[in-house]
Amino acid sequence: MIEVISTLKKLKFDFIPQDGCDAFSKKYKGFILFIVIAPTGKILSSITVRNLEISLPNIPDAEWVANFDKENQN
C-alpha cells in the first residue's frame, strides 16, 4: 500500500482525502482515474468519463499505476 501511495505522489496525482479514506485522482485526455485506499488497506479504482463512472475490477498495485500512467500520457 505504501508503494502505491509513493507512486501516486511521484506521478503527481491529486490527493483528495474523503471520510477517512485516502483518495487520489489524475486527469487524462478524456477521463479521470480515481484510486481510493480505504482505512482497511483495500485499494479501489475507477475511471470517470463525463458523468459515467466505471469501477475497475482489479486491485491496482504500484506497477499497474506506473504502466497505466505511461500508456495514457496526454
pLDDT digits (tens, 9 = 90+) for 44-70: 999 999 999 999 998 899 999 999 999
Q: Which residues form the domain of 45?
A: 2-71
**Among 42, 40, 32, 31, which Cα is nearest to 4's?**
42
| 26: its cell numbers | 489524475
Q: Work out the angle between the directed axes of helices 2-10 and 62-71 (0-180°, nearest 10).
A: 20
Residues near 46 by beta carbon (within 8 Å), at least 6 away in sequence: 33, 34, 53, 54, 55, 56
pLDDT in tens, 7-30: 999 999 999 988 889 999 999 999
Q: Provide the number of structural domains found in the chain.
A: 1
Task: Give the burial class of 71: count Cβ atoms within 10 A of its Cβ; 0-12 exposed, 13-18 middle, 19 or more buried.
Answer: exposed
Q: Dig out the grid coordinates for 13 from the structure.
A: 496525482
